Structure 1
Amino acid sequence: MQKVMVTGAAGFIGAHLCKKLQDNGVEVYGLDNVNDYYDPQLKRDRMAALAEGESFTHLDMDISDRPAMEKLFQEHSFDAVVNLAAQVGVRYSLINPHSYVDSNLVGFVNLLEGCRHSGVKHFVYASSSSVYGANTKMPFSVHDNVDHPVSLYAASKKANELMAHTYSHLFGLPTTGLRFFTVYGPWGRPDMALFLFTKAILAGEPINVFNNGNMERDFTYIDDIVEGVFRVIFKTAEPNFDWRGDAPDPGSSYCPWRVYNIGNNSKEKLLRYIEVLENCLGRKADKNFLPMQPGDVPATYANVDDLVRDMDYTPGTTLEYGVAKFVDWYKGYFKIG
């Protein structure tokens, strides 16, 4: 895996992954159209550090642009492709559903086609804990059925897993889907809770706490996520030869297709998350308690046994360490004394 393309390279996870690959001697092609879903300057700043290295090339294009993607795969031969480009966010999918179709479905099949026709050895892609939808059995396991999504975003991610399976079945393309659980840390997304809470608390403004604070999340630190993705790239998906059609395992297949949870293997109350942030900031939050939002789920909790077994890796960064690292970055980036 000497030449790897990462889509969504200007994104939160993408930029960190590109840096990790660079540091390990991989030639990285980072595809990102730097759209304005949130502040493009933050995305450009993430990539600025990558541009300093000789082994990073920025590809300014949109994965939903079929002719551009066909041309890209004709011109380059990638050993692996990691798709982190997507229209993200559960709540935004209620406002602008078409953007999810363009990026998460059309763009995804463009990448599958490119990989199929250019001999890519491994296609790794971001799925999401949101695919568990109405499931309530905890912790969430990749071996449980996930056919009841509660948002279009979740449905698009489930569709990605199904689309990847067909390409693994029809063309032998090894594909691995990674179900990320609430990722946080330095350079995080401005539309996610930690960023929003930090900004509001420092400004002396109230924070919105949904489901009246009765939310639990498997908060996962960015370094844990990136280490997991890095290991997955270099361990090509293989068939499960014990798979049976009369008792199908949803987490594996007879063809080279796999899905994994990447989470902290623990769940924390949202109010505990806020408490840790308050301690790091030295300020108390003014909490505005609100009902559950459409498309949200009350709790997420990852079973990562398969990741531990196959990748010899267990995420485990504490909230105290991870939130403190975010706060340090936030104050430095926005020059707050």
Structure 2
Amino acid sequence: MRILVTGAAGFIASHLCEKLHSLGHEVVGIDNINDYYDINLKELNATDLANKGIHIFRLDLNDNLKEVFEKPYDYVYHLAAQPGISATTSLEEYVNNNIYATQNLLDAVLEYNSQLKSFINIATSSVYGIEATVNEEVPAKPVSFYGSTKLAAEQLALGLQRTGKLKVCSIRLYSVYGPRERPEKLYTKLIDNLYYDKPFPLFEGSIKHERSFTYVGDIVDGLAAIIGKEDKINGEIINLGTDEVNTTAEGIKAVEEIMNKQLIIDHQPPRKGDQQRTAAVIDKARQLLGYEPKVSLKQGLQEQVNWYLEKFTK
């Protein structure tokens, strides 16, 4: 199969590219390598992919995408997005990178690649709102620009499925962590601050937040399982995560034990838009994809610490 992955130099997408490539598929990426976070990390990921023979088009999804579609694809995995709930990211950036970019990609697929087997939209548990503890049938109630614009992107894609123009599914991910995690995310920042004995900013109340921290390897296994099941999951929204729930405090303790160091905490005011609790309900993923997360939080964090030490401390 020939597969396009958007946001290919990013955290989850780079792992997905490698997974699909290892299964024998021809994988092509697209990424604008923007400076939302350290470009060096994206370049590191891009180099790892290039060494495996995976080409990345360095384009913005709002650009003309005709050259990307000179040869047709069997599947498109759409992971590129404006992520996070940073107070410094404007609504305009979320709209441009999550809504307009998704629509431009969909337009390109319709114009140049209408016989696509499936368009897989990667969504987020943030669409559920403060408490992401429900199944896919419960109405979304986002409370952040990120969650709201990702929900809009999801509906743009599913709208084409409802009108019979494309086969589409949307996968809502839960608190993914592991090697290559973005530097502003919990565990990469935590590992870095522990290693260098820097104070770690902890938002008020977040120490008790509960999360379905899901190892990236489990996530990409679930995403890869979609191939060949496009008829079965056409039009479906599917939660992908783990039903193992841990608090932020438990996550911090696990990393402290792995690194044999104690975290210095810098207490901060509460952050607007933070989810209080996520607990992935993954019955549908189990039923439709044969999905079963295998990696415990402690195992996954050990892998992430190993990656950090290998890539950034030598």
**Which residue of the partner structure matches residue 4 of structure 1?**
3
Where do residues 1-337 of structure 1 align in structure 2 (5 Å cutoff)? 2-54=1-53, 56-65=54-63, 68-73=64-69, 75-92=70-87, 95-117=89-111, 118=113, 119-134=115-130, 136=131, 139-146=133-140, 148-212=141-205, 213-238=207-232, 256-335=234-313
Q: Distance in 2 between matches of 1:144 and 1:206?
A: 39
Q: Distance in 1 between matches of 2:224 and 2:214?
A: 15
Unaligned 5+ residue runs, structure 1?
Answer: 240-255
TM-score using structure 2 length: 0.94
* Alpha carbons 1:5, 1:78 under 8 Å: kept: yes
| 1:38-70 deviation per Cα after TM superposition (whole angstroms, max 9, x unaligned) | 11111111121221234x2211111011xx224
Q: Distance in 1 between matches of 2:238 and 2:284?
A: 7
1:86 is matched by which residue type in structure 2? Answer: A
The percent identity for this pair of structures is 32
User: Shift of the alpha carbon at 1:110?
Assistant: 1.2
Tell me how large the CA RMSD over aligned residues is.
1.6
| 1:140-168 deviation per Cα after TM superposition (whole angstroms, max 9, x unaligned) | 2111111x210011001111221112100
Structure 1 segments of 4+ aligned residues over 6 angstroms from their partners = none
TM-score using structure 1 length: 0.88
Aligned length: 311
Unaligned 5+ residue runs, structure 2?
Answer: none
| 1:295-325 deviation per Cα after TM superposition (whole angstroms, max 9, x unaligned) | 1111111000000001112113111101111
Q: Distance in 2 between matches of 1:36 and 1:288?
A: 26
Structure 2 vs 1, CA of residues 7 and 210 (structure 1 numbering), >3 Å: closer, same or farther?
Answer: same
* Alpha carbons 1:174, 1:238 under 8 Å: kept: no
Q: Distance in 2 between matches of 1:149 and 1:335?
A: 38
* Alpha carbons 1:164, 1:257 under 8 Å: kept: no
**Which residue of the partner structure matches residue 250 of structure 1?**
none
| 1:70-126 deviation per Cα after TM superposition (whole angstroms, max 9, x unaligned) | 4433x221111111111101124x632211111111110112122223221100021
* Alpha carbons 1:214, 1:269 under 8 Å: kept: yes
2:168 is matched by which residue type in structure 1? Answer: T
